[in-house]
Chain A
Amino acid sequence: MTVPVVGGPGGRPPQPPLVQLLTPEGERVEHPDYSIDVTPDELRAFYRDLVLVRRVDAEATALQRQGELGLWASLLGQEAAQVGSARALAPQDYVFPTYREHGVAWCRDVDPVTLLGLYRGVNLGGWDPAEHNFHLYTIVIGSQTLHATGYAMGVQRDGAVGTGDPARDTAVIAYFGDGATSQGDVNEAFVFASVNNAPVVFFCQNNQWAISEPNERQTRVPLYQRAAGFGFPGLRVDGNDVLAVHAVTKAALDRARRGEGPTFVEAFTYRMGAHTTSDDPTRYRIEAEVEEWKLKDPIARVKALLARTGQAGEEFFAEVEVEADRLAEHVRSACLAMPDPEPVSMFDHAYRDPHPLVDEERAWFEEYHAGFEPAAAAGEVQR
């Protein structure tokens, strides 16, 4: 007997409606529950963010290909989901990313070069989370959703929700993927957030793939519908529509800040590239699917709107290109200049207070390495 399996990459079930404010063709459309007023400046700023993060991403992929990074997880195709949501954050809000949130990092003023450290293998996350209210990347799938929930419970206990003061009320946002929704940790985060009414937004980038596994291997219902069972609202937004993502995320964050609890936002998008630079998607997905999503590109539609409505012209687009080139050059040269860490530095920070075993091992390590040095200087191999 063959166990029936729903759908499959070829024959997917029909998809439910999603919140959209900007069509793939660049037409502004209205939605009964979500509206957005974007000034020309704001629209141009979105465009700039989208182009710059895509450019950083492409440069990092190139650096990996040239052996400067061990690995890179590309955000290609997910720029609007990341920029749209992150630009809805207030400074005091706190972000818990996965390993792919380079666009969110950008919006939190994390220098893209800093992101490369982890992928180059010179550190395990080089930025100061508190400086940016942007946590370290989490590679273990789903763990950070619980951290976000706990952080939000702390926010609650600090009385930093529902005061009505926009500079004080705080929301937390947890990013995760479609695959992650299968993890126990993520489901536990939903339960904890729900029973505590925690001010957290669960922001799922459904890019349709978890490495080689399509959505159908994780779920039989649209992911956002899961929220209902946990007792909080969920909705699906066009993840390639920066305006809709922004509007929806802002509403969810505001709700959290008012003390009304969690929201599940499913940003329906697509992973245009490989899972990471180690992956070969030709082994498991058809090119036609990628081609279809190329028509829904998140940047092209903003550009079309800007151009058609006369909110930006060739000069602006050219300026952004120049800025992107400069940024890419900065990323490249700073990456190449990134020094390898001192070997003995690996003994730092395992504990905050001294630990005799670590101290003993560090001392041994230093003595052992000192034994090599004179010989190395003399140009001979010695043990």
Chain B
Amino acid sequence: MSPRTTTIAKAVNEGLRRAMEDDPKVLVMGEDVGRLGGVFRVTDGLQKDFGEDRVIDTPLAESGIIGTAIGLALRGYRPVCEIQFDGFIYPAYDQIVSQLAKMGYRSGGKLSLPVVVRVPYGGGIGAVEHHSESPEAYFAHTAGLRVVTCSNPADAYFMTQQAIRSDDPVMVFEPKRRYWDKGELDPAAEPLPLHAARVARPGTDVTVAAYGPMVRTVLEAATAAGAEGRSLEVVDLRSLSPLDLDTLVASVERTRRLVVVHEAPTFLGLGAEIAARVTERCFYHLEAPVLRVGGFHLPYPASRLEEEYLPDLDRVLDAVDRALAF
């Protein structure tokens, strides 16, 4: 396959397709993933090509999806579950947190649960409630789960396959408002490790760390800042559990300032954990406290307010200014 320009949604589709071709034990399951190809068309064509045994339109029950995926995994399958929208993962929370995350540990390593849970997440699409949430911290907080998120088609393609190959359960958060963003994908390229962060844009004055949907926002902020003579280094975290702190710390040691950006509320979010750990490791390098830009301590608001709720270029630059002013 040759290098090409594609979208995140199509890249996930190709990643799933490749994984299904490589391993007959890989299954895709979820609500409307078969005949319809998913509400975002991410699984488009898979049922047609791999059949109803391998691409399963499940009953409308998220706990059922994850619970039966666990059973299938115990029987040697590698299920890839789609949760239709972020806000509908909670009926499955018990199966994910109490069963999926812990079963390997409880078995003393005798059982492995190679289940992937794909979650389109985040806001910015003008949707009704429960369709715009960022629940990743709940899962990063849960030992036993790996949590990753892509920000571009290449990562979407490779992460999907790496997650499926992992013998641990992996939660893959897909930035739904970026599903149609285009980018380069070279299927023959050597992918980054699943849990590596990546410097998405080098800079010297402030490190801005983000993931998923906010990477593009932060890159745009970096361009705007560049035009005003400030050089931002953008780190795409990619993996939320484990965190690749080494890449981040190396960056912060150069720039001496860190702003962490995510859509999820800042209170007890990924930014809080990152701030604590980076401060611990970079205390004598830091010229300013680690600042966070994120959602407020509110339920996700009605969509006509979401532009005010969500971090945007201006809020990122405001935090950059504050970091530089210290």
Contact = CB atoms under 8 A, between A and B. Distances in A.
A pairs with B: yes
Interface of A: 1-3, 5, 70-71, 99, 117-124, 139-141, 179-180, 182-185, 210-213, 217-218, 278-279, 283-284, 340-341, 343, 345-347, 350, 355, 357-358, 361, 365, 368, 383
B192 interface: no
A358 B265 CA distance: 11
Residue of A213, A283, A341, A357 with most partner-chain B CB within 10 A:
A213
Nearest to A140: B130
A146 to B, nearest CB: 12
A355 to B, nearest CB: 8
Contacts of A179: 59-60
Given A2-B53, A184-B63, A346-B301, A121 B32 contact: no
25 contacts: A1-B53, A2-B51, A71-B127, A117-B302, A118-B128, A124-B301, A139-B129, A141-B60, A179-B59, A179-B60, A182-B59, A183-B91, A184-B91, A278-B39, A284-B35, A284-B36, A341-B304, A347-B298, A350-B298, A350-B299, A355-B297, A357-B267, A357-B297, A358-B297, A361-B298
A3 B39 contact: no
B174 interface: no
A120 B39 CA distance: 20
A121 B53 contact: no
Contacts of A122: 302, 304
B31 interface: yes
B296 A347 contact: yes
A283 B41 CA distance: 11
A121 B60 contact: no
Given A121-B302, A124-B129, A341-B302, 5 more contacts: A2-B51, A184-B91, A210-B60, A213-B32, A217-B58
Contacts of B31: 210-211, 213
Given A283-B35, A383-B314, A185 B91 contact: yes
A212 B57 contact: yes
B318 interface: yes
B23 interface: no
Contact of A361 (B87, B91, B296, B306): B296
Q: Report, nearest first, the 5 A-B pairs whose CB atoms are least far apart.
A: A121-B303, A212-B36, A182-B59, A179-B60, A343-B308
B64 interface: yes
Residue of B39, B302, B305 with most partner-chain A CB within 10 A:
B302
Contact of A180 (B39, B60, B128, B301): B60
A184 B304 contact: no
B37 interface: yes
B296 to A, nearest CB: 5
Contacts of A71: 127-128
A118 B314 CA distance: 28
A121 B304 contact: yes
A181 B296 CA distance: 35
Contact of A2 (B34, B52, B309, B314): B52
A139 B302 CA distance: 14
A121 B128 contact: yes
Nearest to A360: B297
Contacts of A1: 53
B196 interface: no
A340 B304 contact: yes
Contacts of B191: none
B317 interface: yes
A140 B126 CA distance: 17
B321 interface: yes
A4 to B, nearest CB: 10
A302 B87 CA distance: 41
B308 A350 contact: no
Nearest to A218: B59
A117 B302 CA distance: 9
B88 interface: yes
A5 to B, nearest CB: 7
Given A141-B60, A383-B314, A121 B126 contact: yes
B275 interface: no
Given A383-B317, A383-B318, A139 B52 contact: no
A213 B314 contact: no
A350 B267 CA distance: 15
B61 interface: yes
Given A185-B91, A211-B31, A5 B321 contact: no
Nearest to B92: A184
A283 B130 CA distance: 25
Given A140-B87, A341-B304, A346-B296, A212 B35 contact: yes
B59 A368 contact: no
A120 B304 contact: yes
B149 to A, nearest CB: 23
B72 to A, nearest CB: 12
Contacts of B34: 212
Interface string B30-66: 0110111101000000000001110001111101100
A345 B64 CA distance: 38
A283 B44 CA distance: 11
B222 to A, nearest CB: 14
Nearest to A3: B53
